[in-house]
């Protein structure tokens, strides 16, 4: 089995693990009071199941990066949304909607086009220490700019989360290639130590940024994270790691079309998932209707000598059934 097939297979299983973890976390959040602290979650088996699935997905993703380039592995992360559609629908006891099917088809078609253009060789190049420091500094500057107070903080934090996660994946590839390839230099060096620290910082930062991004909802921030991640990683792969698209200009056009289709599919999926998972506004309780005491009294209307308004029968006459007297 060649390296490309191994990378694709590992990425598919990784996406499935991430999707199962997302569904587990969503169900746990639905059964947990918003004020529940993290310490109480640590005592629940569902929480540790989600943590285990996330850890398994991360390990499979790292293994895939050892066999495939960033331009191949990172876009396959969008399959997490595709896999989460049937899993989430089954967990919620509903059918997959038409919008979700459209998003799934568009995402799969777009990823198929990207797979045809991505380089198939296993990665061999790694980032030098100056390149790693430059990538880290640029990422921190972008994240600082996106994290400033202002309008639409959820989407900006989501973009920062996707960028930091994508950069962490690119740096992780340098670690895996250096460890498994003897030509990558000494196993213990300042370069690898620096890259490892950057990976840890960006991975944790991406997680925290995603948590703040989802405070205002799930749909739009999830789409931004899913799209920003492969863009950041692929940019590093194409600019610094010598990755190339196969087929020349034709492949570039095909890659752009595939990217557009995948972007549209991810947006449709995220909107459908937001409608399916975000609770709607609670209906207002019915207001009890009390029969009012009939009254035709008009302020300032002319009255009889006994004070009864004109047009209203006197109470005694109404009870006796007799005619009213003007």
Q: Considering the entire predicted model, what is its pTM?
A: 0.69
pLDDT at 276: 63
pLDDT at 33: 61
> Any idea of the CA torsion for 282, 47, 66, 234, to the nearest 10 degrees?
20
pLDDT at 302: 57
- Assign 33 to helix, strand or coil: coil
Instruction: Please state the φ and ψ torsions of residue 315, each to the nearest 5 degrees.
Output: -60, -40
From residue 129, how far is each of 69, 181, 265, 313 by CA, in Å? 20, 17, 38, 100
- Each of the 326 residues of the chain gets a pLDDT tens digit; together they read 688 889 999 999 998 888 887 777 767 766 666 555 556 666 667 778 877 888 898 899 989 988 888 888 888 888 877 787 788 778 778 888 888 888 888 888 888 888 778 766 667 788 999 999 999 999 999 999 998 887 777 789 889 989 998 999 999 988 888 887 755 556 678 899 999 999 999 988 887 787 677 665 555 677 788 788 888 998 898 889 888 777 777 888 888 898 899 888 888 877 776 676 555 444 444 445 455 555 454 555 555 555 555 555 554 444 455 554 44
Q: Which of 268, 264, 146, 259 is nearest to 219 (CA)?
A: 268
Cα 65 to Cα 90: distance, rounded to the nearest angstrom: 31
Tokens in use for 56?
Answer: 């398994």
Residues 157-167 as b or e (16 or more Cβ within 10 Å = b) = bbbbbbbbbbb
Q: Which of 201, 220, 107 is nearest to 158 (CA)?
A: 220
pLDDT at 66: 86
């Amino acid at each position: 089995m060649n390296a490309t097939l191994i990378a694709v297979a590992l990425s598919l299983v990784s996406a499935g693990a991430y999707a199962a973890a997302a569904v587990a976390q969503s169900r746990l959040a639905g059964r947990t009071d918003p004020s529940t602290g993290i310490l109480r979650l640590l005592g629940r088996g569902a929480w540790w199941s989600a943590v285990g699935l996330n850890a398994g997905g991360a390990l499979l993703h790292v293994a895939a990066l050892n066999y495939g380039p960033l331009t191949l592995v990172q876009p396959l992360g969008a399959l997490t949304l595709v896999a989460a559609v049937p899993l989430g629908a089954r967990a919620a006891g509903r059918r997959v909607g038409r919008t979700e099917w459209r998003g799934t088809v568009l995402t799969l078609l777009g990823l198929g086009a990207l797979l045809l253009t991505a380089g198939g060789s296993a990665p061999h190049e790694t980032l030098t220490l100056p390149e790693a420091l430059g990538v880290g500094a640029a990422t921190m500057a972008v994240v600082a700019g996106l994290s400033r107070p202002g309008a639409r903080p959820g989407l900006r934090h989501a973009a920062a989360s996707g960028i930091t996660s994508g950069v962490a994946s690119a740096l992780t590839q340098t670690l895996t290639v250096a460890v498994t390839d003897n030509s990558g230099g000494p196993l213990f060096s300042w370069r690898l130590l620096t890259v490892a620290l950057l990976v840890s910082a960006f991975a944790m930062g991406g997680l925290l940024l995603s948590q703040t991004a989802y405070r205002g909802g799930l749909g739009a921030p999830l789409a931004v994270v899913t799209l920003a991640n492969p863009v950041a990683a692929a940019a590093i792969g194409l600019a610094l790691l010598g990755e190339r698209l196969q087929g020349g200009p034709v492949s570039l056009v095909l890659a752009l079309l595939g990217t557009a289709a995948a972007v549209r599919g991810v947006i449709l999926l995220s909107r459908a998932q937001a409608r399916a998972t975000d609770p709607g506004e609670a209906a207002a309780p019915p207001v009890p209707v009390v029969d009012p005491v009939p009254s035709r009294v008009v302020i300032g209307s002319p009255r009889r000598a006994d004070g009864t308004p004109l047009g209203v029968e006197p109470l005694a006459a109404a009870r006796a059934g007799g005619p009213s007297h003007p």
